[in-house]
Amino acid sequence: MKQYEEALKQARAKVYAEQEADRKKLLDERAGFLKEARAKASGEVNVAKESVAGELAAAKKEIEASVEATGRGDRAAGVAGAACTGQPGERGTMSRRGWTRALLAAVVLLSSSVLARAAEEGGSPAEQPIGTSSSGFTS
């Protein structure tokens, strides 16, 4: 009976060691996938930031030019603005486009900073034991 218990104990230890090795392998794979996904997302965010920054700079130049033209009483700018909107005498659409771009830039920057902060505070999900969620409850 003692031999049986010893053999059973050794078999259990072997199974537990195999399970632990498999668990570590899966965690390493998961961490690799997360690292790749974060790098890809970070690259996409950087590209979007650059794009929005370019659009914001263009919008600022457009607004500044519009303000300068309006300040000088340049009627040609008003005519060009009306031609762009398709409605005579209406120049507000170009300014609205600039404000929309600026708002979009602010939203992108805010959301990227919120995501970065959440990633810093949350830690890596790969470090959590299998079967637990971030709230600590088991599935």
Task: Give the domain ranges of the chain.
Answer: 2-117
Residue 128 has pLDDT above 70, yes or no: no
**What is the CA 118 to chain-centroid distance, rounded?**
11
How much is the average pLDDT of 45-57?
Answer: 91
Q: Is the pTM of this model over 0.75?
A: no
Average pLDDT, the chain: 77
The whole-angstrom separation of Cα 8 and Cα 27 is 28
State residue 93's pLDDT score: 54
Predicted local distance difference test score (pLDDT) of residue 41: 92
Mean pLDDT (whole number) for 60-81? 68
Q: Give residue 113's pLDDT band: very low, low, confident or very high (50, 70, 90).
A: confident
What SS3 string covers 1-54? CHHHHHHHHHHHHHHHHHHHHHHHHHHHHHHHHHHHHHHHHHHHHHHHHHHHHH
